[in-house]
């Protein structure tokens, strides 16, 4: 049976992986056992996908990204060049902690910028936008813009990746999609 995805001849795909139709896996990428990769994903050059990682549909993984065991990325997630996930809070070379991996969930549509680090055990909310080089040490709300080290909340982003500016009624309009968003009294953003 012919595979329904593309893998460059230098890519290594271990047995027991599920890879969706239309996915592309590029040069020197290693997809380890038990991974599930959805349809129409793109894994750039020199990517490592550790055992049992789950990637939804249309996930874009740029060059030099390491996705460690415990990570789940929902549909339409963007992982920028050289960003990295961790999976142990207190790693030591001489102490084996494979039974202490902490899960990380990246929700639908979130974008993580180049060279960002996501410390394990945190959730990145839907359509959140993590700036390049940011270090995420706590949960990130949906639509939040996070920048810096440690990451700090710097505003809100639309689903199209534009900064949202709220009026006196706490309503913002995306300049590209013209979709409306509301900033609620409890400090959350919802599309309306």
Q: Please state, in angstroms and rounded to a whole number, the distance separating the CA atoms of residues 170 and 185.
A: 9
Please give the pLDDT value at position 98.
86
Shared-domain flag, residues 67 and 140: yes
Q: Please state, in angstroms and rounded to a whole number, the distance separating the CA atoms of residues 1 and 113.
A: 38
Strands (E), 34-161: 36-37, 42-43, 48-49, 54-55, 60-61, 66-67, 71-73, 78-79, 84-85, 104-106, 111-112, 117-118, 123-124, 129-130, 135-136, 144-147, 152-156
Shared-domain flag, residues 131 and 169: no
Shared-domain flag, residues 110 and 126: yes
- Find, among 50, 116, 51, the residue nearest to 78 by Cα: 116
Please give the pLDDT value at position 66.
96
The neighbour count for residue 138, using CB atoms within 10 Å, is 11
In a domain, 8, yes or no: yes
Shared-domain flag, residues 80 and 136: yes
What range defines the domain where residue 139 resides?
Answer: 1-88+101-157
pLDDT tens across 127-149, in order?
A: 999 999 999 999 999 999 999 99
Which residue positions in the chain have pLDDT lower than 70?
Answer: 1-2
Please give the pLDDT value at position 1.
55
Q: What's the domain count of the chain?
A: 2
**CATH code for the domain in which residue 117 is found:** 2.160.10.10
Q: Which two tokens stand for residue 41?
A: 């994903």
70's torsion region: left (phi>0), alpha (psi -120 to 50) or beta? left
CB 80 within 8 A of CB 118: no
Shared-domain flag, residues 173 and 81: no
Please give the pLDDT value at position 3.
85
CB 118 within 8 A of CB 85: yes
pTM (predicted TM-score): 0.95
In a domain, 5, yes or no: yes
pLDDT tens across 42-53, in order?
A: 999 999 999 999
């Amino acid at each position: 049976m012919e595979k329904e995805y593309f893998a460059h001849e230098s890519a290594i795909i271990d047995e027991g992986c599920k890879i969706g139709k239309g996915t592309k896996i590029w040069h020197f990428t290693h997809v380890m056992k038990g991974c599930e990769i959805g349809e129409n994903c793109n894994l750039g050059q020199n990517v490592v996908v550790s055992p049992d990682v789950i990637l939804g549909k249309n996930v874009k993984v740029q060059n030099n990204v390491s996705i460690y065991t415990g990570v789940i990325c929902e549909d339409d997630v963007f992982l920028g060049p050289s960003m990295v996930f961790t999976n142990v809070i207190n790693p030591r070379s001489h102490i084996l902690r494979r039974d202490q991996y902490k899960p990380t969930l990246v929700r639908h549509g979130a974008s993580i910028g180049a060279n960002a680090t996501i410390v394990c055990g945190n959730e990145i909310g839907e359509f959140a936008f993590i700036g390049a080089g940011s270090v995420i040490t706590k949960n990130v709300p949906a639509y939040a813009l996070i920048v810096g080290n440690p990451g700090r909340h710097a505003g809100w982003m639309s689903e199209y990746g534009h900064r949202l500016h709220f009026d006196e009624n706490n309503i913002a309009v995306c300049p590209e999609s013209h979709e409306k968003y509301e900033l609620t009294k409890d400090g959350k953003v919802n599309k309306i």
